[in-house]
Amino acid sequence: MSVAEHDVLIVGGGMVGLTCAILLAQFAKDAARSFSIGIVETSPPAPAPPSADIELRVSALSRASRMILQFSGIWPTIAATRISPYQRMCVWQADGAAGSARSISFDAAELGEPNLGYIVENGVIRRAAWERVNALDSVSLHLASAPAELREEADALVLILENGERLRTRLLVGADGVRSWVRQALGVPTREREYGQRAIIAHVESERSHRKTAWQRFIAGGPVALLPLDDGRSSVVWSCPDAMATELMAADQRIFDQRLTLATDQVLGSLTTTTPRADFPLSLAHAERYTGRRYALIGDAAHRVHPLAGQGANLGLLDAAALAETLAAQQASLVVDPGDPVILRRYERWRKGDNLLTMGVLDGLHRLFGAGWVPAARLGGLGMGIVDRLAPVKRRLALYAMGGSGDLPVAARSS
């Protein structure tokens, strides 16, 4: 069997892997380099569902992510399909109330911004990115079979697929999600912690308008969030302990709706589920290394965070943009050797610190509010109220949540 040769081979065509491929192809084209990119994906995106209904899986995208998708040329397709911009965010604690002294709220208008971010269907992002990679001459797709074995040669890695296909590459990028085959095949140690929680998702109709506001209430056991959708409904992300999640998943709709309405403190009045529910186990994971000789890890393959602040995809898109920029900054490296560990290490240094910071903040919030330790939670509630009245601190927090702080890749900077 012949061997396909690539400069960069990306395993995983989720939103992060596809965005990385698009950016790499774009940078190489700008530098007039001939550059071959391969993508191995075992589950290509399904076609758009025939109904116009909003799909169940959505992500809160930061403004930085929007910039990256814009830079990648896919934002117009996404925006033309469907996006739900949100203008306000309100976070409060079980023993307080939304808008009380124990809550914190952000308003885009106060920050001089048109919005704080966008709620977008994962399927819409992925299909737009998929369409784009299919139109790129320098990208080839390997969809027939999953990776089975990885071999090291003097100047390349060879990925052997289950069907025997051999793919030779100078750089292997693991973008294959939280259970990354690439990370395991390379033997990269990973620190992991199960939260013993699951996130339940569904879309709901509410008695009162969501007012384009993302609502999040911290209650014992985990946070519950209502993300505003363009059609007037809200997307629920309810993180709760495993046993409670099992019970809620099995509950009939009337009971589930009642409990959800109470959990959200009736902030939008009575809630009525309009979709099936789905649930996801929650864990914290961080690869000890993102790079090494001829490999780099990006997105959930490198790190997994709690969804309480909706940052996983946002961090992954920043990884994708930073890796592409690192390789392109060394224009010669696109041609000479994109697998050079010294160059790859720059990407790791760039992103690992930012990712660690975000993971630490999210884990700290989870412990402070979600672990059910009452004194800590009380302190947290008080802290929220204080921060809400400290304009400069609050502004920094808002910019951070919008992805507008830190060392941003060129693709993520607002023009």
Contact positions vs ligand FAD (CB under 6 A): 11-17, 40-43, 59-60, 146-147, 175-177, 181, 199, 201, 237, 280, 299-300, 307, 310-314, 316
Q: Residues 45, 348: contact at Cβ < 8 Å? A: no
Closest separation in Å from C-beta 21 to ligand FAD = 11
- Is 181 strand, coil or helix? helix
Nearer to ligand FAD, 103 or 311 (CB): 311
Residue 197: which of 243, 235, 236 has the closest Cα?
A: 243
> What does the buried/exposed string (b/e) look like for 376-398 if buried means 16 or more CB atoms within 10 Å of the residue's CB?
ebeebbeebbeebeeeeebeebb
Could you tell me the smallest distance in angstroms from the CB atom of residue 69 to ligand FAD?
12
Exposure on the CB side of residue 146, measured as CA atoms within 13 A: 8
User: Which C-beta is closer to ligand FAD: that of 41 or that of 337?
Assistant: 41
Nearer to ligand FAD, 102 or 304 (CB): 304
360: number of Cβ within 10 Å: 11
Q: How far is the CB of 300 from ligand FAD (least distance, A)?
A: 4
Give the contacts of 22 (CB within 8 A, at least 6 positions apart). Answer: 72, 73, 74, 129, 132, 133, 136
Q: Which two tokens stand for residue 42?
A: 């075992």
CB of 368: closest distance to ligand FAD in angstroms?
Answer: 20
Q: Is the dihedral of CA 250, 253, 254, 259 positive or negative?
A: positive
Nearest to 221 by CA among 262, 257, 181, 164: 262
Residues 131-134: contacts with CB under 8 Å, at least 24 apart: 131/74, 131/77, 132/18, 132/22, 132/72, 132/73, 132/74, 132/77, 133/13, 133/18, 133/21, 133/22, 133/25, 133/39
Instruction: Determine the Cα–Cα distance for residues 22 and 309; give it in Å rounded to an integer.
Output: 27
Distance (Å, whole) CA 25 – CA 147: 23
Please state, in angstroms and rounded to a whole number, the distance separating the CA atoms of residues 322 and 33: 19
Q: Considering the complex, what minimum distance in angstroms separates the CB of residue 101 from ligand FAD?
A: 27
Do 352 and 297 touch, CB atoms closer than 8 A?
no
Q: How far is the CB of 307 from ligand FAD (least distance, A)?
A: 4
Please report how close the Cβ of residue 259 comes to ligand FAD at its closest, in angstroms. Answer: 18
Closest to ligand FAD by CB, 84 vs 333, is 84
When the beta carbons of 223 and 312 are compared against ligand FAD, the nearer one is 312
Nearer to ligand FAD, 326 or 333 (CB): 326
**Least separation in angstroms between CB 214 and ligand FAD:** 9
